[in-house]
Amino acid sequence: MKLALIGFGQAGGKIVDQFVEYDERQGTDIVRAAVAVNTAKADLMGLEHIPENNRVLIGQSRVKGHGVGADNELGAEIAEEDIDEVQGAIDSIPVHEVDAFLVVAGLGGGTGSGGSPVLAKHLKRIYTEPVYGLGILPGSDEGGIYTLNAARSFQTFVREVDNLLVFDNDAWRKTGESVSSGYEEINEEIVRRFGILFGAGEIEEGGEVAESVVDSSEIINTLSGGGVSTVGYASEEVEAPSNNGGGGILSRLKGDDDDDELDSAHTTNRITSLVRKAALGRLTLPCEIDGAERALLVMAGPPQHLNRKGIERGRKWLEEQTGSMEVRGGDYPVRGSGFVASVILLSGVTNVPRIKELQQVAIEAQDNIDEIREESEDNLNDLIQDDDDELESLF
Ligand code: GDP
C-alpha cells in the first residue's frame, strides 16, 4: 500500500530515511511521500534520502535549532505552535494517492515523543485516510526520564492514531551492547518487517498466484479497530528459481508427478513452520499472542515457493493460537528472491508486559516528578552543549 511517511524527531527521521532507501533498493513502491520534522537542525542535516524540501525545522524561535533534549512537554508545545509549518510540507503530498499516513517516532526522547501525538491528532482532523503510528520504545538502560516520556507519550499516541504499531528497543538490545551501538541493525530489522508488511499490499493481482495476493484493504482492515500492534518475522533461504519454473517440461515428460507432490508437501511444511517461528519468535513488541483481536499473515517469496495450502494451514494455526476469528492471510510474490519469509501482524494485542510496566511507571512518576524534572533539565543542558559542538563542527 502507498504510505505518506512522517518521521518526527531523530529516531523517526532516521527510520523514515532508511525506509526510503529500502523502498528504492527493493523497488517496493510503498513510499509515496516522506517528510522529516525536528527541532534539531543537525538531525535533519544528517538525513540522506528524504528530500531537503521535506525536512521541516520547527521551534526555531524557542530552541534555535538545538532540539528540546528530553523535554517532551516542550516538544508537544512546539509541535502545536508550529503545526502550520508541518502542514506546509504535507500540502505537497498528493494525499489522494496515499492509502494511509504513518507517523514514526521514538517515544523516549523529546521532539518525537511530544510532537508525534500532536501531529497524529492534526492529521486525523484534516484527512479521511487512516493515520497509523510507529512508536519506538526506549531501552531500559536509557534512564528514568526516557521511560517516563515513553509512558506518557504512548498513552496519548495510542489514543490519537488509528493503530499504534510498536517496536521495543529494549527487547532488541544485544547482551553487553548499549542500544545506541545497535541502532543500525535495529533499524534494518524495523524497515524489513514493515517493508514486507506494507509492500504486500502494493502487488497488483495477476499471474500465477492471483487468487491469494494480500491487498491494502486487508492490511487496513486488520489495523482498524485501533489499539496496539506487533509484528513477527521469520525467513528461510530457498534455491534461486530456475528458468523453466521448477519441474517444468522435463518432469512432465518423464511423468514425474510424485516429485511435484513431494515438492508441494515440502513447500507447505516450510510455510507452516515459518508461520510458527514468526509468531513464537521475537516480536517487535514482545507479548502473548493469545488474545490478539485480529491478525494478518503475509507469506513473501518466489511464487513457486508459495502455496495456498500452506498459507491456509498457517492461518488456521494462527486462529487457534490467538483465539481470534479475524485472521487474514495471503501471499506477496517476489520474483527472483532467494528467501521465503513470513510476516505476521498481530493487531489489538492486550497481554503486553512492557505496556503494563510503562503504565505503572506513569502512575508512580506522579510521586517523584521533581526528581525526574531535574534529570530532564541536566539532560537538556548537556544536549544543548553537545549540539553546539556538533553545529560548530558542521559549519
Ligand atoms: P527526539 O529527537 O527528541 O525525538 O529523540 P530521539 O529520537 O533522539 O530519541 C528518542 C528515543 O528513540 C531514544 O530514547 C531511543 O530509545 C530511540 N532512538 C533514537 N535513535 C534511534 C534509532 O536510530 N533507532 C531506534 N530504533 N531507536 C532510536
Cell digits of residue 384: 544543548
Question: How far apart (Å, rounded) are the C-alpha atoms in residues 376 and 339?
Answer: 45
Q: State in Å, rounded, how far the first CA of the chain is from the last one.
A: 40
Q: What integer pLDDT is reported at residue 239 of this predicted model?
A: 82
Q: What CATH number has the domain spanning 3-199?
A: 3.40.50.1440
**Distance between Cα 172 and ligand 1 center (Å):** 14
Q: Where are the domains of the chain?
A: 3-199, 216-347
pLDDT score at 365: 73
Where residue 256 falls among pLDDT bands split at 50, 70, 90?
Answer: very low
Would you say the CB of residue 115 lies under 6 angstroms from ligand 1?
Answer: no
135 Cα–ligand 1 center, Å: 10
233 C-alpha vs ligand 1 centroid, how far in Å? Answer: 23
Ligand 1 contact via 112 beta carbon (within 6 Å): yes
pLDDT band at 253 (very low <50, low <70, confident <90, very high): very low
Asked if pLDDT for residue 75 goes beyond 90, the answer is yes
Under CATH, which number does the domain 216-347 receive?
3.30.1330.20
Cell numbers for 216, please give them. 491494502
Indicate if ligand 1 lies below 6 Å from the C-beta of 383: no
The pLDDT of residue 144 is 86
Any atom of ligand 1 within 6 Å of the Cβ of 376? no
- Reduced to 3 states (helix: H, G, I; strand: E, B; else coil), residue 363 is helix
Lowest mean pLDDT among 169-173, 220-224, 316-320: 169-173
Mean confidence (pLDDT) of the chain: 88
Our answer on whether the CB atom of 142 is closer than 6 Å to any ligand 1 atom is yes
Instruction: Give the number of C-alpha atoms closer than 13 A to the C-alpha of residue 255, restricted to the C-beta side.
Output: 0
| Residue 8: closest CA among 134, 98, 116, 82 | 116
Decide: 110 in ligand 1 pocket, CB within 6 A: yes
Band (pLDDT 50/70/90 cuts) for residue 393 is: very low
Cβ of residue 37 lying under 6 Å from some atom of ligand 1:
no
Residue 317 confidence (pLDDT):
98
Which atom of ligand 1 is nearest the CA belonging to 12?
A: 7
Confidence at 186, pLDDT banded by 50, 70, 90: very high
pLDDT for 242 beyond 80: no
CA 139 vs CA 108, 150, 179, 361: distances in Å: 9, 10, 6, 14
Beta strands in 175-268 (DSSP E): 228-237
**Which of helix, strand or coil describes residue 47?**
coil
Is residue 325 predicted with pLDDT exceeding 90?
yes
Calculate helix-pair angle for 9-26, 111-126, nearest 10 degrees. Answer: 70
CA distance 386 to 383: 5
Is 14's C-beta closer than 6 angstroms to any atom of ligand 1? yes
Angle at 39 between CA 33 and CA 44, to 5 degrees: 50
The pTM for the full model equals 0.89
CA distance linking residue 36 with residue 47, whole number of Å: 9
Q: What's residue 260's pLDDT?
A: 58
Q: Over 50: is that where the pLDDT of 246 sits?
A: no
Q: How confident is the model at residue 219 (pLDDT cuts 50, 70, 90)?
A: very high
DSSP string, 77-132: HHHHHTHHHHHHHHTTS-GGG-SEEEEEEESSSSHHHHHHHHHHHHHHHH-SS-EE
Q: Each residue of 109-126: pLDDT tens digit?
A: 999 999 999 999 999 999
Give the three cell numbers for residue 122.
492534526
Q: 3-class SS at 20?
A: helix
Q: What is the structure's pLDDT at 182?
A: 76
CA distance 253 to 251: 5
What is the rounded distance in angstroms from the CA atom of residue 357 to the CA atom of residue 298? 30
- Condensed to tens digits (0 to 9), the pLDDT of residues 133-164 reads 999 999 988 888 999 999 999 999 999 999 99
